[in-house]
Amino acid sequence: MRASGTHGGADVRAASGQAEVIENPSPAVVMAQPHRRYNALLDEWLLVSAERTSRPWLGRQETPPVVDLPTYDPSCYLCPGNVRANGKWNPKYESTFVFTNDFAALRPDAPDTAVEDGLLRAKSERGTCEVICFSPRHDLSLSRMSPAQARTVIDLWANETASLGQRYEWVQVFENRGSAMGASNPHPHGQIWAGDALPREAVKEDATQRRHFDETGRRLLIDYAEQEVGGPRDLGSDDDWLIVVPFWAAWPFETLIVPRRPVSRLPDLDDRARNSLTERLLGLLRGYDGVFEAPFPYSMGWHQAPFDGIERPYWQLHAHFYPPLLRATVRKFMVGYELLSEPQRDITAEDAAERLRSAINAASPRAAQPGI
């Protein structure tokens, strides 16, 4: 007989080739063995194989990131006053700097075309891609900024969102940090892509949030935040924000940032919420850098309500952080079973949260701010 998970309040386990039924198991019993967790935001499941990190590893090793970067690099196409690949010159900016990506994946002048041929369907997509330089300093990542400097970046995210939302339905703010996540330049920067259509992840999150609101009259992520506050996955909540390793995290040190009050988009955040976010965000990023005592690679991005004119009282602003590292030089690969079946993680979200909390608590805010 094969183990088939939890049914009717009983936990079915395979032991010595036989199935064992444990009536009304505690969460600790379930989570101490291979189990599946439900992602309420994406309506998906993932496999958790606790303690699998003890297996031997002879595969690819990640190269440690360069730590000692100069404050200015004359060869960097994002530093102030330097020439970019297309021959344009950057201004000698002193705070943040935004420009249209010289190699944009979306264009505002794309013609309106479509293909309909049986199962073969395609349509043009109109949009734009912006690059946002967080700082004129080549070496000053978000994690090492002062609160005032980080707040400037948050305000920039909000202002650009409001501007692009007047023209496009979906505005995706994101950052790829580190070469392990495909960043082509170490200069601290992020991007904003905006387009006419809702992408795949937005469609999923829209459906789950709408369904929960229709059933309960409450926002899914606010309910989730209230359930997580003060729990084993909470990385430091306050009255305004929750930062958590989500129960359903797929990446080893994945985190989710959620406002605890109803807010749909970045421009809707008031001054208090932005100041609180600055503090929480810096704590998380410094904690990330402390986990392996090196700049931590990640992809992060904000999901906010679409700008399509449809009322969405159920949509809650939130940010995802997807860091790839499982160990200091070993990354988590989403391959094989993960690509063909469902995501699988090697440590529990609770263990990851405990390590991250320790790193956050140990981080020194002043030491993270060079020359400020």
| Spatial separation of the C-alpha atoms in residues 131 and 126, rounded to whole Å | 17
Calpha distance 11→18 (Å, rounded): 13
Calculated CA dihedral for residues 141, 143, 144, 149, nearest 10 degrees: 80
The separation between CA 169 and the C-alpha centre of its own chain, rounded to angstroms, equals 21
What does the alpha-carbon distance between residue 252 and residue 249 come to, in Å, rounded to a whole number? Answer: 7
Give the number of other CB atoms < 10 A from CB of residue 8.
7
Go through 205-225 and write b for each residue having 16 or more CB atoms within 10 A of its CB, e for each that does not.
bbebbeebbeeeeebbbbebb
Helices (H), the chain: 27-31, 147-165, 200-216, 220-228, 271-291, 337-340, 349-362
Question: Edge-to-edge strand order for the sheet containing 35-39?
Answer: 35-39, 44-48, 344-345
Verify whether residue 303 is a known catalytic residue: no
Please tell me which residue in 35, 138, 187, 189 is annotated as part of the active site: 189
Amino acid at 95: S
The DSSP string of 67-133 is ----S--TT-TTSTT-B-TTSPBPP--SS-EEEE-TT-S-BTT----EEEETTEEEE--BEEEEEEE
Task: Tell which residue, 173, 149, 139, has the closest CA to residue 159.
Answer: 173
Residue 31 sits at the vertex; the CA angle it makes with 11 and 34, to the nearest 5 degrees, is 80
For residues 75 and 83, what is the distance between their CA atoms, to the nearest angstrom?
9
Active site residues: 189
